[in-house]
């Protein structure tokens, strides 16, 4: 079975090569853009935190999370502190000193 994945296209996750009559198909995804000055919470404990609740993203308690930074006109994947609590709420964190907030996109599958 092969997989194709483009996180920023309208395609989502497409499972291909299924056998035994399985249909495969598109996985649902939640995406949201965010702004460096308006969407990050107030600094606390040395960090700015951006939160997407499980109710908002709709992917239960074990979601797959990817974060992208907007660089010019292109989104580039970044790897940073990502926390999923027992309820499935997703939090991403960056330091407040230096201020590492950025414009970007969060993808949750």
Segments making up each domain of the chain, as ranges: 29-108
Q: Report the pLDDT value the prediction gives residue 26, as an integer from 0 to 100.
A: 57
Rg (CA), the chain: 16
Q: Report the pLDDT value the prediction gives residue 57, as an integer from 0 to 100.
A: 95
Q: pLDDT tens track of the chain, all 109 residues?
A: 444 445 565 544 444 444 444 444 556 899 999 999 899 999 999 999 999 999 999 999 999 999 999 999 999 999 999 999 999 999 999 999 999 999 999 999 9
Q: How far apart are CA 83 and CA 92, in angstroms?
A: 6
DSSP state of 73: T
- Give 15: exposed, middle or buried? Use CB within 10 Å, 0-12, 13-18, 19+: middle
Q: Report the pLDDT value the prediction gives residue 6, as an integer from 0 to 100.
A: 58
């Amino acid at each position: 079975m092969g997989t194709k994945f483009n996180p920023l296209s309208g395609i989502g996750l497409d499972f291909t090569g299924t056998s035994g009559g399985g249909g495969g198909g598109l996985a649902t995804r939640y995406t949201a853009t965010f702004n460096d000055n308006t969407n990050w919470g107030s600094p606390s404990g040395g960090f700015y935190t951006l939160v997407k609740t499980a109710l908002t993203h709709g992917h239960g308690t074990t979601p797959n999370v990817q974060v992208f930074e907007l660089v010019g006109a292109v989104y580039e994947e970044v790897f940073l502190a990502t926390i999923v609590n027992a309820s499935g709420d997703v939090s991403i964190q960056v330091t407040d000193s230096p201020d590492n907030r950025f414009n970007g996109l969060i993808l949750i599958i």
